[in-house]
Amino acid sequence: MVFDDTLVQFADINQQWSGILVGNGASRAVADSFAYTSLYDKACSDDIAHPLVQNEQNRATCHLSYLR
Protein backbone atom coordinates (compact mmCIF):
# COMPACT_ATOMS: atom_id res chain seq x y z
CA MET A 1 0.00 0.00 0.00
CA VAL A 2 1.35 3.40 -0.95
CA PHE A 3 0.53 6.39 1.22
CA ASP A 4 0.50 9.84 -0.36
CA ASP A 5 -1.59 13.00 -0.21
CA THR A 6 -4.13 11.86 -2.82
CA LEU A 7 -7.73 12.13 -1.65
CA VAL A 8 -9.92 9.42 -3.17
CA GLN A 9 -13.68 9.32 -3.52
CA PHE A 10 -15.47 7.18 -0.94
CA ALA A 11 -17.26 5.29 -3.72
CA ASP A 12 -13.85 4.09 -4.94
CA ILE A 13 -13.01 2.47 -1.59
CA ASN A 14 -16.52 1.57 -0.41
CA GLN A 15 -16.55 -1.87 1.16
CA GLN A 16 -17.92 -3.64 4.22
CA TRP A 17 -16.33 -1.89 7.23
CA SER A 18 -16.51 -3.23 10.78
CA GLY A 19 -15.49 0.08 12.34
CA ILE A 20 -13.74 3.37 11.85
CA LEU A 21 -10.72 4.85 13.56
CA VAL A 22 -10.65 8.64 13.62
CA GLY A 23 -8.01 11.03 14.82
CA ASN A 24 -7.94 12.49 18.31
CA GLY A 25 -9.13 15.90 17.10
CA ALA A 26 -12.32 14.51 15.59
CA SER A 27 -13.21 12.43 18.61
CA ARG A 28 -12.47 15.24 21.08
CA ALA A 29 -14.94 17.42 19.20
CA VAL A 30 -17.62 14.88 20.14
CA ALA A 31 -16.98 14.54 23.89
CA ASP A 32 -14.41 15.42 26.56
CA SER A 33 -14.22 11.73 27.49
CA PHE A 34 -12.03 11.37 24.39
CA ALA A 35 -9.31 13.57 25.91
CA TYR A 36 -6.34 11.19 25.78
CA THR A 37 -2.86 11.53 24.35
CA SER A 38 -2.77 8.40 22.16
CA LEU A 39 -5.72 6.98 20.28
CA TYR A 40 -3.80 3.75 19.68
CA ASP A 41 -3.01 3.32 23.40
CA LYS A 42 -6.65 3.98 24.28
CA ALA A 43 -7.82 1.48 21.64
CA CYS A 44 -5.54 -1.19 23.13
CA SER A 45 -6.45 -0.53 26.76
CA ASP A 46 -8.88 -2.51 28.88
CA ASP A 47 -10.54 0.80 29.81
CA ILE A 48 -12.92 0.45 26.86
CA ALA A 49 -15.61 -2.12 26.10
CA HIS A 50 -14.01 -3.58 22.98
CA PRO A 51 -10.23 -3.01 22.88
CA LEU A 52 -8.19 -3.96 19.83
CA VAL A 53 -7.44 -7.67 19.78
CA GLN A 54 -3.87 -8.85 19.16
CA ASN A 55 -4.11 -9.27 15.36
CA GLU A 56 -5.63 -5.77 15.06
CA GLN A 57 -2.81 -4.39 17.23
CA ASN A 58 -0.27 -6.12 14.98
CA ARG A 59 -1.81 -4.61 11.82
CA ALA A 60 -1.99 -1.14 13.39
CA THR A 61 1.62 -1.35 14.59
CA CYS A 62 2.72 -2.34 11.09
CA HIS A 63 0.98 0.72 9.59
CA LEU A 64 2.26 3.02 12.32
CA SER A 65 5.86 1.90 11.83
CA TYR A 66 5.53 2.65 8.10
CA LEU A 67 4.64 6.26 8.92
CA ARG A 68 7.63 6.82 11.21
* pTM higher than the cut 0.75: no
pLDDT for 68 equals: 47
Residues contacting residue 24 through CB under 8 Å, at least 6 positions apart: 34, 36, 37, 39
Residues contacting residue 51 through CB under 8 Å, at least 6 positions apart: 43, 44, 45
pLDDT for 24 equals: 63
Predicted confidence (pLDDT) per residue in 15-54, tens digit? 777 777 777 677 777 777 767 667 788 888 898 899 988 8
Query: How many of the other CB atoms lie within 10 Å of CB of 24?
Result: 14
pLDDT for 49 equals: 92
pLDDT for 62 equals: 66
Question: How many Å apart are CA 7 and CA 50, to the nearest integer?
Answer: 30
Once rounded to an integer, what is the mean pLDDT over residues 52-62?
81
Proportion of the chain in helix, strand, coil states, percent, rounded to 5: 50, 0, 50
